[in-house]
Every structure is written in structure tokens, then in C-alpha cells.
Amino acid sequence: MDSGVTAWLLTSAALVFLMIPGLAFFYGGMNRSKSVLNMLMMVVGALFIVGILWAIYGYSMAYGSTAGYFVGSFTDYFGLEAALAPPGEGDTFPTMVDVVFQAMFACLTVALIAGALADRMKFGAWIIFAAIWASLVYFPVAHWVWGGGWIGELSIGDAGVIDFAGGTAVHINAGAAALAVCIILGKRRGWPKTPMRPHNLTMVMLGAGLLWFGWFGFNAGSAYAADNTAAIAATNTLLATCAAGLAWLIVEKIRDKKATSLGAASGIVAGLVAITPACANVTPMGAILLGLVAGAVCAWAVTLKYKLGFDDSFDVVGIHLVGGLVGTLALGFLASDLVEEGGQNGLLYGGDLNLLIVQIIAAAGVMVYSLILAGIIALALKATIGIRSDEEDEVNGIDVAEHAETAYELGDSGAGGAFAGVGHTARAEEVE
């Protein structure tokens, strides 16, 4: 066992875990004050349920011995008993290190979807959706990409699919699901005519910073070694994100005459998303170019919801689905064997169309599967338990309706305990 590799992966797992509260801050700040707690709870609730399912059967489905090309063996690591064994000869780290590292990816991916559903989904319905979607979509797709499934094995000629840290399995997957569910869930009351401005941009910036910090573990940790590949991935994660943030602000300045903090935070996330599949396979200049393209494209893509009429509350589709597609497909142009001797080259480095074709197939396969399954799950829940909060609860704020709390004390009621903020909903509305 290599103690350095083990320590690096455990550290990376902790970094990725920090992205989950970072995401909660990022989404929570963009919410209206009357529903911010519900958004935080949706992110934390996804962590709770997916973490448990990952231990029971999720890791086994994703990384068990392949059963065809669709899903791993359900029994190989059921309950994680088989993962308790110390590393065998030739292994550089214990299996349980991989379990906890990949658990963070699973929990984060499901939580990403919540940002499209703000202000209007029942908390109980969300938890059930998260459990079913993780089981039927994320666990199998993780197997497709990283566990020996069909995407990992797909090749045309010498070209095989590249997804270093999750452009398909994480971002395209979550973004497609968010699109399906927000359409079925319907628009927020008053959207888009009623202004629904972020209630706390400081929280948004803090969340973006925590996401960026944790993303170094997300990308560089995916090297599964403390080596040159990890260093390249970390450097490209920095460069692409800087470029994307800059590009987003430039687009804002040209389009809206102002460069905003919300735009900066959104550009950060767009760059992080786009570089995720490509961070170990492009040069530093390629990473900057990719970031510039992703920032500009995503800044445009987030406006499509107004033209097409779907209420994606916090631009999960425009940033994660579109950014994931940009990063995944850009490898067909920007991949370079300068990064890794014997690696693949995209079109700009003398490669042929084969790499671009396999990237398109992988991206399309994940997008269509997640879109359809998420839609079926949401429709089934809508027809049975219902997924939409009552109109009165949405107007008054679903923090009170779902959790009997409000995020901020805006009066002097003298009441204590969990219900202390219930009486201040009207005042919260005035502040907004």
C-alpha cells in the first residue's frame, strides 16, 4: 500500500465533501429568503439518503464486477463487507478509500439537481426522487463511465471516450435530470414576470469559493495518485475557471452593461464544470481556451429558459448540462498527447474525427437516459404522492410549510425553539 496515495485520496474525499455545503450556500444565496432553508435541506437531504444507499448497494452497482455493460454486480460489495479487507498485493490503497471518495461524487451529483426545483417541490417528494434517481440513473451511469460499462469500453479505431472526472456521469447526468423535473414540476408562481432576485449574494460568492476549493479534490483526486497527472489536473482546474469567469463577465458587460457578482460566481461554476472531463487531457493553453468558450456559451445558455419557457431556478441546465456538454465535446478538438505520452489527440492537435464521435455518443447516451428516467420518476411521483407544494405555501414561503422555520429573525417575538421564526414570514417578504 502506498500511504501517500491513500492520504491524498482521503484528503480529496474531504475536499469533495466540502463542495456539498458549498453547493448549499451557492444555491441558498440565490433563493428568496422565504425558501432558503428548504434549499439547504434539499442539498443536505440528498447527502443523507444517497450516502446510505451508496453503502448498501450503490458502490456495488457502480464498481462491482460488470454484468454486461449496463450495471455492476449488485452483490459484490453489498453492505460494503467485501470492501473491509486490507489492500491486496499490487493495490496502492484500500478499497474503502475508493468507496468514500466516490460516495462524495454520488451525493453531490444528486444534490446538483435541486437547484432547478427551488421554491416549489415538496421535501418528502424530493427525498424519494433523489433515492430512486440515484439507484436507477447515477449508480448505473457511474458504472458505464468508470466501472467497466459501455462508455468506458466504447472506442472507434484508436479513440476511446475521455471523461477524467465526471463531465458525463456528473454534470450532463444531473443537468438532463434537472431539465426533465423542472418541466414536469412547473414554473414558480409568478415566474418570469415577478422578480425573483437572489436574497444573499454574499452567500452565493462564498458558495462558489467553497466549490472551487473543493473542486481541486474532485479533479486532481481523480488521478488516483499524487503525481504529475494530478498536478496537471489541478493547474487546468485553476486556469479554465479563471478564464470562464472572465468570459462570463465580458458577456454580461456587453449584453447587460454591468458585470455582476452573480455572473462571476456563475462563471466560476461553468468553468469548473467544463474542465471536469478534460482536466488531465488538455494543455494549460487548451484549458484557458476551453474556459473562455464555456464561460461565454453558458452565459448565453442561461437565457434560453426565458425563451423556451422552462423554470430552471438556478440555471442547472444552462451551467451543468451545457457546460458538461462543452467540456466533453471540446476534448474532440483540444485533447493533446503533450499532456500524456501516448495519449489521444483532438482535431486541433492532428487527431481524426473518431475521438469527437465517441465523445458525442457518450454525452448523448447519458443525456437521453437521464432525461427519460428522471421524467418517468417525476411523473410517477406526481401521479401518486404529488410533487408540487400548495399554492399558499409557495406564496408564504415553503420554509415555514415544510420545516416550520425561517432563515432569519426579523422581529423581536421573544419566542424560542424551532418555531421561533414562523411569525415573521410577512416581514421577510417586505425586506425582499
Q: How confident is the model at residue 422 (pLDDT cuts 50, 70, 90)?
A: very low
C-alpha grid cell, residue 387: 410533487
Residue 421 predicted with pLDDT over 60? no
Which residues are CB-neighbours of 273 under 8 A, at least 6 positions away? 167, 171, 294, 298, 319, 320, 323, 324, 327
Give the pLDDT score at 20: 98
Residue 424 predicted with pLDDT over 80? no
- Region 11-19: what's the mean pLDDT? 98
Which residues are CB-neighbours of 3 under 8 A, at least 6 positions away? none
Q: If you classify domain 3-384 with CATH, what class do you get?
A: mainly alpha
Give the pLDDT score at 428: 35
Buried b (16+ CB within 10 A) or exposed e, 44-58: ebbbebbeebbbebb
Give the pLDDT score at 411: 60
Greater pLDDT, 137 or 196: 137
Nearest-5° Cα angle at 44, 43 to 46: 70
Nearest-5° Cα angle at 205, 199 to 209: 150
Q: Where are the alpha helices (DSSP H) in 74-193?
A: 95-113, 123-133, 139-146, 150-153, 173-185
20-63 pLDDT per residue, tens: 999 999 999 999 999 999 999 999 999 999 999 999 999 999 99
Residue in 265, 262, 277 with CA at minimum distance from that of residue 211: 265
Longest dimension (CA), the chain: 72
Residue in 207, 214, 42 with CA at minimum distance from that of residue 128: 42
Residue 415 predicted with pLDDT over 70? no
368-387 pLDDT per residue, tens: 999 999 999 999 999 999 99
C-alpha grid cell, residue 401: 410549510
- Region 227-233: what's the mean pLDDT? 96
User: In which residue are the cell numbers 421535501 written?
Assistant: 123
| Separation between Cα atoms, residue 92 and residue 428, nearest integer Å | 54
